[in-house]
A and B are shown apart, each in its own frame.
Chain A
Amino acid sequence: MKILVCISKTPDTTSKIAFKDGNTKFEDAGVQWIINPYDEWYSLVRAIELKEKDASTIIHLVTVGGADCDPVIRKALALGGDEAIRVNTDSSDSFYIAAQIAEIAKQGNYDLVFTGKETIDYNGSSVGAMVAELIDAPYISLATKFELNGTTAIVNREIEGGEEVNEVALPVVVSCQKGVAEQRIPNMRGIMAARTKPLKVVEPTVVDTLTNIVSFELPPAKAGVKLVPADNVAELVRLLHEEAKAI
């Protein structure tokens, strides 16, 4: 069993969001970079669990990004995984990123490609679907549970207002979210081992970028909360009805 886990780096969830260069770039000064939580807590940990069950499993990590991704990849290697591949290029275009991952996926002949549900910075929830299309594999989105039975994957996935259970023969691309696994903390042994695990840097394949970010903006500031005394709930209902027209 060969698993490819897609790892992206994102600003820590508590980072202050600000922009620079005339609002064209994310202000990364002082920002702590982390592994995108969905990639770390759910897809990577699930891949490690599968390896714990079947030691012949090989886990490769792939990230598309510049050298500033290396610390984050090392952390992912410390959690588990056998080697990492970094495609040395930087882009915000999901098609461009997916095409790079698809290239690695094709070369490595993986049985399983895991992505996170979404990146918490670009929130596209689309790279996994694109990779699946580019390698012509089925795609199961928003998985909440993932099991293997031989070469069949049994996956619960979120649908509107509920869940469904899917069965599909490998290879398959799956995007993971809460439920698939539980968060883990890397231990000292893992951190030491990660130092000697291979981190291959490869150059990107030539693909067109189909989108580019022109500018960023922050949402308009809230006007401030209108407080209503606890003994006058009727006033809140009046405001919600007459002023906010929300009920």
Chain B
Amino acid sequence: MSVLIFIDQSEGHIKKSSLEVITYGVAVAKQLNVSAEGIVLGTVANDALIQLGKYGVQKIYHIANEKLNHVDAQLYAKQIADTATANNSSVIIISQNQTGKAIAGRVAAKLKAGLVAGAIALPDTTNGFVVKKSVFSGKAFANVNITSAIKVISLNPNSFHIKQTEGTAEIVTVNANVAEPKVKVTAVNKVSGEVPLTEAEIVVSGGRGLKGPENWGMLEELAKTLHAATACSRPVADAHWRPHHEHVGQTGIQVAPNLYIAIGISGAIQHLAGVNRSKVIVVINKDPEAPFFKAADYGIVGDAFEVVPKLTEEIKKLKTA
């Protein structure tokens, strides 16, 4: 028996969300007293894989087929399910990131395994196998019992702390048959140089209070100082002040960073639904009655155009101190 952890990579680089699922999967394995094993698909340097032992994973199955360098839901699900079956894995852990959303359901259906998608805590195994997950767009949690023999958990990004221990992982190179992908990737457009929103530790977000796209310079400056990603409210994206992929909320992207700084955003319920899992929320708004203050940990009632440049300056001071 084992716990199988899907370790997501992009261009040979192991994602931060993968370190989270490894830490989580290792903890589940310990709970069940079974071994923690990983699976990596596509080209990744062996050294990078051995390093993952530091996070407690004991063995990694590496299927280095080039056809797997791109995420293809069908091919990925087959490799993960086959590896799980071959190694008698009873629990499979996947990150609920973009890749996870493409494949977790497929893996689960292939194995006829119950799936908890968007888990935020370790399973409670005292009475069944109960996993807590986020529901109602972050407004509540559900405790879900998985009753099937094989179980799949996809873990919400940023909901489990990465822990380093000691050790090196044994790498098992697997020569698997990989079919021709049915989906052809004809273009990849990555926003280069920016911190991906869903991976960011800190998010700086702006709303209609900023008046226009020309005023985003000060937000970008603040974001750069904090090594943060930038985000925005829906009307801002709708008005094309900012690109659509920055829109957070119920109908946009859901984020859960350590720190979310909301500037000139009123805090409508649909906006909160995308950000309320953030650990610390800071609100800067000139209206003391703005609903966002009710969801905030820290706030400044004031004009963003005055407060934000000062904030950037003070943070620079802190960083150079």
Chain A interfacial positions (CB closer than 8 Å to B) = 11, 13-14, 17, 19, 37-38, 41, 93-95, 98, 117-118, 120-130, 132-134, 138-142, 144, 154, 158-169, 175, 177-179, 208-219, 222-223, 225-230, 233-234, 236-237, 239-241, 244, 246-247
Contacts and interface: CB of A to CB of B under 8 A. Distances in A.
Contacts of A175: 101
A120 B250 contact: yes
A228 B279 CA distance: 19
B92 interface: no
B321 to A, nearest CB: 10
B244 A138 contact: no
11 contacts: A121-B135, A122-B135, A122-B142, A123-B135, A129-B102, A130-B108, A130-B109, A161-B191, A165-B189, A227-B301, A234-B314
Contact of B310 (A117, A125, A214, A233): A233
A224 to B, nearest CB: 9
A164 B318 contact: no
Nearest to B296: A225
Interface string B220-261: 000000100000000000000000110100111010001100
Nearest to A14: B269
Given A133-B77, A138-B183, A94 B115 contact: yes
Contact of A230 (B141, B270, B301): B301
A110 to B, nearest CB: 17
Contacts of A169: 182
B202 A139 contact: no
Contacts of A217: 140-141, 143
Contacts of A128: 105
Contacts of A140: 73, 183
Given A95-B108, A230-B306, 17 more contacts: A13-B270, A123-B118, A126-B105, A130-B115, A139-B102, A139-B106, A142-B102, A154-B186, A159-B188, A163-B245, A214-B143, A215-B142, A217-B140, A222-B297, A236-B298, A237-B311, A246-B280
Contact of B147 (A134, A165, A212): A212
Contacts of B112: 95, 208, 210
A219 B101 contact: no
